[in-house]
Amino acid sequence: MKHNYRYMNYVGDSQFENRFATPNEMKAVLTRMDISDADGKDIPTGGMPFISDTKVAYGDTQDYHTLVLGSTGSMKSRTLILPTIYTLALAGENIVIADPKGELYDFTSGFLKKRGYIINVVNLRDMKHSDCWNPLGEAWTLFHNGEQEAGLNLAYELVNSLTDRVADSKSPSWAIAAKQLLNGLVELMIRGAQSIEECNAGSLSTLLDRVKIADQDPSSRFDDDGRSFLEFVNSLPEGCSLKNNLFSSVNMTRTATTTLAGVLDVAYGAVSAFTTSTSLMSLTSHNTFDIHHLAHEGEKHAIFLIVPDEDTTYHFIATSFIKQLYNCMIKESFKLSTGQLPVRLNFILDEFANLPKIPDMPSMITAARSRNMRFFLVVQSNNQLHATYKDDAETIKTNCLNWVYLSTKEDQLIQQIQRMVGNRSGNSNEPLITYQELSSLRKVVGPKGGADALILMHRSRPFVSFMPDVSRYEQFRRYPSIPIRDADGKFVFFDLNKRALFLEEEEALEIYTGAGKLATDEEPEEKPNPESKTSSKKDLGGWGDWDEEEETQEPAKKPSSSTLDELLKKLKEGDGEDE
């Protein structure tokens, strides 16, 4: 029988030979990178080295995603991640790095600065020394630049991540109601805040304080018009998403006498990371850098997300940042004729499985390649990955066309790697690499330190490479770490009462419905007359009647909150310590 030429390597006398690749065979399919001169010209492209003598490296510089698998102490950072950052810096590619211990920053920040990089650090380990990033800032910007639905959806996504952290499976209705309540409050803030600085997580917690106080104290009111929270909700125009969210949460609290307290507990738990830490509240109150600049040609950016590996309390900030930046870059790429970012963006996510689940990660990693984005996912444990991403774990793994394996004691992972490597040709029962060999690949500590890595590249034979320890790359050792900037402590609260006092009725309605311009902070020419009170109905065309009132007395003071008072006192005194 005559066989198609395409398959001659697999049939007949020329059967496919399953074996390990030789170094020369690997070099033929990899890109040569001259990394001998740290001060030299840029290299064309960067990537993870798979062969290296510390002066010349061979790596995959294509757009394939890479999965690194290695247990604690397997030298993942020292043999693979740090050399990757150096090659990317030599190529001038943009980098976002999840840095659990801050060690990656210490090793590479001086070199990145020397290569002309703009470096920003979101430091969740030491928030007194950090850039600031407002998770709600992009939502406010989108909303007030004509993309209202996109802005609100982005804000709702943050609320989802907050409530998912504290949701109790025994009381799912409380979590649903809390999510709707927070969605409504964050929408109220986005619509009403005059500036991006006012729209922040700290302001969201103060609005939640208002709801709690207005519910617990019948004499207090939610706004300066003297309305309770329920009256305020009922006053909103029918059909708007703001009223739908708030009204739904109110209706759900009527199902039982204890439900409202439970809903508020869940809502407070969702924002507790901000209310219990003045440092985090300040760090997330505004932006000290613009993520859109990563889509600008001619600029080189490196962003470090330093997260404490011993405490996961604030890890959700890192995952929110990654998702928001990714979405922003997707939007920026659509604006370009090529449909791709002008400079490749690399996400190096160390301890990927220890971070909270990134929403839509399977679709993100699928679409990233066509937008000139690439992921390096570093995982300690296959079980951790499955615990975080459940059924999506295998999808994420299969979308990584390069696998680099160092070591593990996980039986299931070793067997999977064995199957991927395959059996020796001519003997279907003899594996090309044994179970024992996989569980004990070489690791060397000292002047000639390094570790063996099993490379499983797309459309290539398996290959075992000895990767040198980062200390052997002498050309990169002379660049000391640069200091991280001090946090500026800037903070602005959104004040609902202030908006209600200074706005005309039409402007207030436009804020609540997103239909018009924002008011300014300037005093109105005519202040309410405390000596009289009149009431009339005003037709606002299509929205029904709106009560037009003048106050009979000075507006009620903003309800106090012990939590808010303590935080404000700390901010004024300059105390940035966590409570």
pLDDT digits (tens, 9 = 90+) for 141-171: 999 999 999 999 999 999 998 988 887 655 7
Q: Measure the CA–CA gap between 520 and 537, rounded to whole angstroms.
A: 25
CB neighbour list of residue 411: distance below 8 Å, 6 or more residues apart = none
Per-residue pLDDT at 563 exceeds 80: no
In 127-171, which ranges are continuous DSSP H helix?
Answer: 137-143, 148-166
Q: Measure the CA–CA gap between 154 and 199, rounded to whole angstroms.
A: 13
pLDDT for residue 506: 43
Task: Answer yes or no: are the C-beta atoms of 224 and 555 closer than 8 Å.
Answer: yes
Lowest mean pLDDT among 152-156, 312-316, 385-389, 566-570: 566-570
CB neighbour list of residue 78: distance below 8 Å, 6 or more residues apart = 449, 469, 470, 471
User: If DSSP codes are grouped into helix, strand and coil, which group holds residue 245?
Assistant: helix
- For residue 559, which phi and psi values (nearest 5 degrees)? -50, 135
Task: Answer yes or no: are the C-beta atoms of 420 and 403 closer than 8 Å.
Answer: yes
Q: Give the residue-averaged pLDDT of 398-410.
A: 96
- For residue 435, which phi and psi values (nearest 5 degrees)? -60, -45
Q: Give the residue-averaged pLDDT of 324-347.
A: 96
pLDDT in tens, 494-536: 876 655 433 333 443 444 344 333 333 444 444 444 444 443 3
Q: What is the mean pLDDT of the chain?
A: 83
Which phi-psi region, left, alpha or beta, contains residue 426 (left: φ > 0; alpha: ψ -120 to 50)?
A: left
**Single pTM value for the model:** 0.83
List 451's β-bridge partners, or say none.
443, 467
- CA distances 394 to 319, 362, 374, 382, Å, are 20, 9, 18, 10
First to last CA, the chain: 79
Task: List domains and CATH numbers for the chain.
Answer: 5-131+288-476 (3.40.50.300), 143-281+489-573 (no CATH)
List 536's β-bridge partners, or say none.
548
